[in-house]
Each structure stands twice: as structure tokens, then as C-alpha cells.
Amino acid sequence: MRQGARKAAVAITSIAAVAALTLAGCTSSTDPDDNNSPGPDDTGGQITDAQREEALNTPTELTFWTWVPDVQDQVDMFEKQYPEIHVTVENVGQGLDHYSKVRTASKAGTGGPDVVQLEYQFISSFAQTGELLDLTPYGAADLADQYVPWVWKQVLSNDQVLAIPQDSGPMGNLYREDIMNAAGVTEPPATWADYKTAAEKVRANTSSYISNMAPSQGAGWLGLLWQAGVKPFGYDGGQNVTIDVNSPEAKKVMAYWQDMIQNDLVSIDPDFNDEWYQGLNQGKYAGWLTAAWAPVFLSGAAKDTSGLWRAAPLPQWDTSKPASGNQGGSADAVLKTTKNPIAAYELAKWINNAHDPALLFTTQQNFFPTAIAVLEDPVFVDQESDFYGGQQVNKLFAEISTTVDTDWQWLPFMEFAYSSFNETFGAAVAAKGDLAAGLDAWQDALVDYAKQQGFTVNG
């Protein structure tokens, strides 16, 4: 207790000191913006094998922030491989909560993780604020040809490798075969026009919806734009952004969905809440346009419907050029504030790149792999899933993965982008309103914010 009291006293006095400094006006703390300062070991040169050996054989403590369940298993494998290194796994929240924690810890300079999970869509955002360590000097560039090209492109920024891919989410169509059959739909719809016809049959002949289009599922909606070849965002890694979410091409895709929504052919419930899980279990939704991580996830979330589901590619705009988009998927990055960059890099790399832990991600954590070696591993590809009536779902999504466009980019402020998405486009979906106007409103909000933050905006 005495120790504690002293700590408290220290805390109070140091806060008083900060306050005093602030009030005296002699502080630089509003500008802790040493963004572009080099990382601790950023000497510009490559890390040698000797340095790596030394780092991996020195007792080291690492902290790893991730919300991947049971990732401790992969970490245990890593610790067994490198017994000198001890890793603390922390879950500080998911999604925006996670990212705001990473930012604040990184700004404070202490208490943050060494290795951090980032979805692909947020890598530019953290690169922009200079929080990510360039992994090239540690050998990351050599991994390039081990990964699916469009995934690898997602972790690059200005020739820097900023993260090691973990999983990805090329999109497909999961559906309930029994409900489709009851509705008189015997083949998975090949085109979006077919999909609408099927949706009408499902509505007419069953009590289900062909799918649920969650208003706030920004990543899913963007995935559908991605499939259609729309390029809403661009970022040059510096201060130039391109914002074009209300392009005619985007509006064309959304006009299709506005028609579907206003004719009550799809439901528009928020997803991943209790009601939505029930909707999946009880057949309210006869299908789900979703990512490759979903098949295994669904088999756990809707256990009661095992055997009834099937998987197919997304319906197409142009069947001569099959395409898909991506929804979600994560990578592991190293923060510049780390004191042990080599060990941190090895952790991020090993659990995702070494074959055994990477394969375990696919069987245990629902993850759809990004490494070509795993995508081609018969253990993964030939797996037959009882939940999908014995279908080789992984093989299907592995094929879909090759049809994802490689040129998609993100804005460097996706936290704001998604939150304003919900208020503009998402609200329009929820209100069964004018989706084109929703895109316009989103465009305006993004442009305003970008300008406010000092970016140069290209329409």
C-alpha cells in the first residue's frame, strides 16, 4: 500500500507538473508529431542474419494486440519455436475501439503493442500518421511472391511493406439450398439480373429474404463496388487523396440495390447483433453475400442449419469477366514505437507465414488464407464441409480469390469514412431511401473532412 501511495503521489505531482508547464505556455505537447522520425533500428540497411539470430535468442517481451480468438495457439507455437521470446496477447476491443486504442497508445509512446492486427482497409490510415514500421529492411519484401497478388498490394505503400497478410475475404454467395429449392430456384444465380428474379421467387414462395443487406456493413457494400470495378478511393501515400464514391459506376450498382430494397426483396437488418444471428439460424435470410471467412464462421454461428447451406460465386455484372471484391481480412503490422523491431517482425511474419500456424488459422479461426502455399495445400483445398453438404467450399473461394481486382485503394482516414458512411449511405439504406443521394452525402462528408485535415482532394 505504501508503494501504491507513493506511486499515486508521483502521479499527482507529474500531472501537476504537466499542467503547470501547459499553463506557463511552454509546452510542445500539442505537437507530439514526430511522425516521420525513424524507428529505433531504422538504419536504412538490411537486417543481417546475425542480427536476427541475436534478436531471436535474446530474452524479449512482446505485446500483440489482436481480436482474433484463440490466437494464443499460434503464439504458443511461436514461443515454442523461439523460447527466448515471450508474447503477451491483448484484446483491447475490435474495430474502431481497437484502432482508437492503437492510436492513443502510439501517440503516448508507451503502453502500446509491438505487433498489431490491422484490417487492410486501415493500413493507409495508420501509414498516413506514420505509426507503422517499414518492414522492408527486415526482409519482408522477399515474401512478395508467396502471396496472392491483390492481397500483397494491400500491405504496400510507396514501396514499403507495412504488414504481413493474415487472412482475406474475397466475396461469394452463401445460400440455403432448401429454401431456394422451395422457392423454385434450382441454380445459384449467375448474374445480378438472375439474382433479382430469384429474390422475387423467394419472397413470393417462402417467408424468407434471399439475403440481408446490412445498412452499416460498409466493408461489404464497398466489396460490391469493388466487384463492379468501381474505384471510389485513391491515395498517393502523401497528401493527395481521390474521393469518388458517387461516380456514375457506383450509382449504377446502388440503383440495383435501391430497387431490391424498395421492392422488399432483401431485408436490411443491422448485422452481427443478436437479431441477425437469429435470422440466420431461423431461415429469415436464405442467403448471405459475404466474404471467404464467412463459411466457417457461419458453421459455428448457425449450427442448427448444418447441411442446408451451399456456396457459389457472387452473381456477375458481366459473365464473360468473372469478378469479385474483398470484404475484410487482416494483416499484422509492427508499430514504430516498438523497442524490439526484429523480434516483433518475426512474430508478425512467423505466425502468418510459417506453414503450420498459417494452416491452423484456416481450420480454427475461420480465416481464409492469403499465402499461396496454404491456398494450394490439399489439406485446405480438398476439405469437404458437412455444413455445406460436403461441398469443397475452400476450393471454390480459392478460385474466387484469383478474380479480385488488384487496384483497389483506401483512404488514409477510414475510421472517419466508415462512421460517416453509416450516417449518410447507411442511413439511406435503413430508411429505404434514395441511395444515390446517400452516396452524394457521403462524398460531401468525406471531401469536407479531407479538406479540413489538410489533404489535397481530387474529385
Partner 1 sequence: MVTAQLNPVTAPPSKPSKSDKRRKAVNRGKRRSNLLTLVMWLSVLYFILPLIWLFMSATKDNSDLFTTFGLWFGHDFNLFANIRDVFAYQDGIYARWALNTGIYAGVAALGATTLATMAGYAFAKYKFPGDKLLFAITLGAIMIPLTALAIPTYLLFSSAHLTNTPWAVILPSLVSPFGVFLMRVYAADAVPDSLMQAARVDGAGEYRIFWTVSLRLLAPGMVTVMLFTFVATWNNYFLPLIMLNSGKLLPLTVGLAQQQATSTAGGGAQALFSTVIAGAFLSIIPLVIVFLYLQRFWQTGLATGGVKG
Partner 2 sequence: MTSAIQRKQHLVAYGFILPFFAVFATMFIAPLAYSGYLSFFAHKLVGGAKFVGFENYVRAFQDPAFLFGLGRTALILLVQVPIMLGLALFFALALDSGRARGSKAVRLLIFLPFAVPGVVAVLMWGYLYGRDFGLTGQITRALGLPPTDFLSDQLILFSIMNIVTWAFVGYNMIILYAALKSIPSELHEAAEIDGASQWRLAWSVKIPMIRPAIFLTIIFSVIGSFQIFNEPKLLVEIAPTAIPQGFTPNFYAFNVAFVNQDINYAAAIAFLLGFVIMIVSYVVQLSMQKREVRW
Q: β-strands 160-161, 156-157: how paired?
A: antiparallel
- Helix (H) or strand (E) holding 255, with range, is helix 248-262
| Residue 18 or 193 having the CB closest to partner 2 | 18
Task: Tell me how far apart the terminal alpha carbons of the chain are, to the nearest angstrom.
Answer: 60
346 binds, among partner 1, partner 2, none (CB under 5 to 8 A by kind): none
Is 69 one of the binding residues for partner 1 (CB under 8 A)? yes
Segment 333 to 392, residues that bind partner 1, using CB under 8 A: 365-367
Radius of gyration of the chain (CA): 24
For residue 378, which amino acid is it? P
Is 242 one of the binding residues for partner 2 (CB under 8 A)? no
C-alpha cell at 145: 511472391
The C-alpha atoms of residue 52 and residue 49 are separated, in whole angstroms, by 5
For residue 22, what are the contacts with CB-CB under 8 A and spacing of at least 6? 29
Q: What mask of x and - would describe binding to partner 2 in positions 397 to 436, judged by CB under 8 A?
A: ---------------xx-xx--xx-xx--xx-xxx-----
C-alpha cell at 225: 463496388
Is 20 one of the binding residues for partner 1 (CB under 8 A)? no
228 binds, among partner 1, partner 2, none (CB under 5 to 8 A by kind): none
Query: Coil, strand, or helix at residue 319?
Result: coil
Is 35 one of the binding residues for partner 1 (CB under 8 A)? no
* Residue 62 CB neighbours (<10 A): 24
Is 307 one of the binding residues for partner 1 (CB under 8 A)? no
430 binds, among partner 2, partner 1, none (CB under 5 to 8 A by kind): partner 2
CB of 426 to partner 1, least distance (A): 15
Q: Cite the beta strand spans of 215-344 per DSSP E.
A: 233-235, 240-243, 287-291, 309-313, 330-334
The C-alpha atoms of residue 309 and residue 386 are separated, in whole angstroms, by 9
For residue 16, what are the contacts with CB-CB under 8 A and spacing of at least 6? none
Is 67 one of the binding residues for partner 1 (CB under 8 A)? yes
List 179, 261, 268, 294, residue binding partner 1 (CB under 8 A): 294
Q: What mask of x and - would describe binding to partner 1 in positions 220 to 249, judged by CB under 8 A?
A: ------------------------------
Question: What strands lie across the sheet with 171-176, from one edge to the other?
Answer: 287-291, 171-176, 309-313
Q: Which of these ranges, 45-53, 272-280, 352-360, 383-391, lies near partner 2 under the rule CB under 8 A?
A: 272-280
For residue 129, which amino acid is it? T
CB of 291 to partner 1, least distance (A): 7
Is 92 one of the binding residues for partner 2 (CB under 8 A)? no
| Residue 100 or 181 having the CB closest to partner 2 | 100
| Residues in touch with partner 2 (CB under 8 A) | 12, 15-16, 18-19, 22-23, 30-31, 33, 96, 100, 103-104, 128-129, 215-216, 239, 270, 273-275, 278-279, 284, 412-413, 415-416, 419-420, 422-423, 426-427, 429-431, 449, 452-455
